Each structure stands twice: as structure tokens, then as C-alpha cells.
């Protein structure tokens, strides 16, 4: 078997739809960035890694030594991590801040809703968002490295421990393949179809995430606010 005719006939429409989906993702994260620049719910948040999105398809090669198999080239997961810039030491780039400085990481991930080895297929595409308090073995590692570990090794089905007020919660688990995190996480899942307007994004993502981050930040020991 080489090129299947029924697949080829659907490529233009499928590519167009997926392209439009990525435009929606870009618009969504731009809205989030603007809203998080305002300390409306007790906290402002700034993204890590600049304009780069975390992805489960970071490399593409034809052979099997690629970062991921070729059929996962189109990413089924895209996401961002955020920190409170008031916890970043003065004169330090956000990505260069340390885990011990920021303590909390907010995250927002977009998932197509299917074909994941660790999550049962959903009814449709979803937005996962939450707050993590990861504690790596080296508290001085750059926080962007800590975020990458969360992205790679977060396993909801193995680490969930309960649910309260709509928030799933659990703990990180060390493993032999690269995760050295301790600490806790809190997360919600929202169907993307519910995020079809500015109001819906504010109601279902921005406000609950901002309030949860502020709540957890207040529960931690006081942190010196040294810069922006």
C-alpha cells in the first residue's frame, strides 16, 4: 500500500480545517496573554518560552530515530506555562528564573481529544488548565526546565488523587525516565467547544485559573517580591 485514494481526496479539506484550528489556538493564547497581563484576580501571569508552544511533536524525521514517530508529526497537544513575574528576581529573564523563586507554575494545554497513550479518548477536543507546585531535586534549575519535565511526565491517570469543587488534584511521581519532581498539581478539563467567545474563555479558564493560582500562592510561605 502506498497512497490511498480516499485519503488523498480528503487532504485539502482536512488540512484547511486543521490550519483554521491552529489559528484558533493562536487567538486563544493571545487572549489569555492579554488577560493575564492584568492583575485582576489577585495575580498576573507571564508565559515561559516566549512565543514557543510546548508540543508533543517537537521533531520530524522519516526514520524511526525521530523524536516521535512520523504519524505524530501533527501535534495533538500544544500548551503553555506561566509564572507570576513578581516572583522573578529583578534583572532575570523569566526563563532563567529558578524553581525555588517562582514556586508555582500555571499551565494551559490544548488537546485534540484522542490518540493519547495515557488518556482515554474524550468526546471532543479539550483545554486542560491548572496550577502546579513542582519541587525538582535541584531547586536552582531554570523554571523552563521544570516546566518541560511537567509537560513530558505529567500522567493524570496515574497521579490523580481526588477532586474538589471541580478541580482534580494529585502529586508528581519520580520515575527512572527523567522525572525528579515532587509536589502537587491541580487541574480542570474543559471542552474546547465551550470556549467560543471572550466571555466563555474568561468564565471557564481565565478567572478560575487566576483565582486558583492566587489561592495557592497565598497558602505558601511568603515570597519576597523582587522584580517584574
Give the tens place of pLDDT for each residue, 87-145. Answer: 999 999 999 999 999 999 999 999 999 988 889 999 999 999 999 999 999 999 999 99
pTM of the model: 0.89
User: Which residue's entry shows cell 528576581?
Assistant: 89
Residue of 112, 75, 79 whose CA lies nearest to 191:
112
SS3 of residue 81 by DSSP: strand
Say which residue, 209 or 173, is predicted with more confidence.
209
Q: Who contacts 127 (Cβ-Cβ below 8 Å, separation ≥6)?
A: 108, 109, 110, 111, 189, 190, 191, 192, 195, 204, 205
How many C-beta atoms lie closer than 10 Å to residue 3's C-beta?
7
Mean of per-residue pLDDT scores for the chain:
87
For the cut 50, the answer to whether the pLDDT of residue 79 exceeds it is yes
The span from the CA of 22 to the CA of 50, in Å, is: 17
The span from the CA of 138 to the CA of 135, in Å, is: 8
Amino acid at each position: 500500500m502506498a497512497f490511498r485514494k480516499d485519503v488523498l481526496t480528503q487532504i485539502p479539506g482536512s488540512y484547511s480545517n486543521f490550519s483554521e484550528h491552529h489559528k484558533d489556538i493562536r487567538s486563544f493564547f493571545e487572549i489569555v496573554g492579554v488577560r493575564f497581563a492584568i492583575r485582576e484576580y489577585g495575580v498576573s501571569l507571564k508565559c515561559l518560552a516566549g512565543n514557543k508552544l510546548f508540543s508533543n511533536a517537537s521533531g520530524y524525521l522519516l526514520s524511526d530515530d525521530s523524536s516521535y514517530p512520523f504519524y505524530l508529526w501533527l501535534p495533538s497537544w500544544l500548551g503553555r506555562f506561566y509564572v507570576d513575574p513578581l516572583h522573578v528576581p529583578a534583572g532575570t529573564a523569566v526563563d532563567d528564573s529558578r524553581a525555588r523563586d517562582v514556586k508555582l507554575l500555571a499551565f494551559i494545554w490544548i488537546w485534540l481529544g484522542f490518540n493519547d497513550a495515557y488518556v482515554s479518548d474524550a468526546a471532543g477536543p479539550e483545554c486542560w488548565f491548572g496550577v502546579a507546585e513542582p519541587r525538582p531535586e535541584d531547586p536552582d534549575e531554570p523554571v523552563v526546565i521544570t516546566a518541560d519535565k511537567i509537560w513530558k511526565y505529567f500522567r493524570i491517570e496515574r497521579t490523580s488523587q481526588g477532586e474538589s469543587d471541580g478541580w482534580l488534584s494529585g502529586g508528581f511521581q519520580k520515575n527512572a525516565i527523567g522525572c525528579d519532581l515532587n509536589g502537587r498539581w491541580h487541574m480542570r478539563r474543559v471542552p474546547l467547544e465551550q470556549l467560543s467567545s471572550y466571555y466563555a474563555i474568561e468564565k471557564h479558564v481565565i478567572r478560575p485559573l487566576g483565582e486558583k493560582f492566587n489561592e495557592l500562592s497565598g497558602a505558601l510561605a511568603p515570597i519576597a517580591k523582587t522584580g517584574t
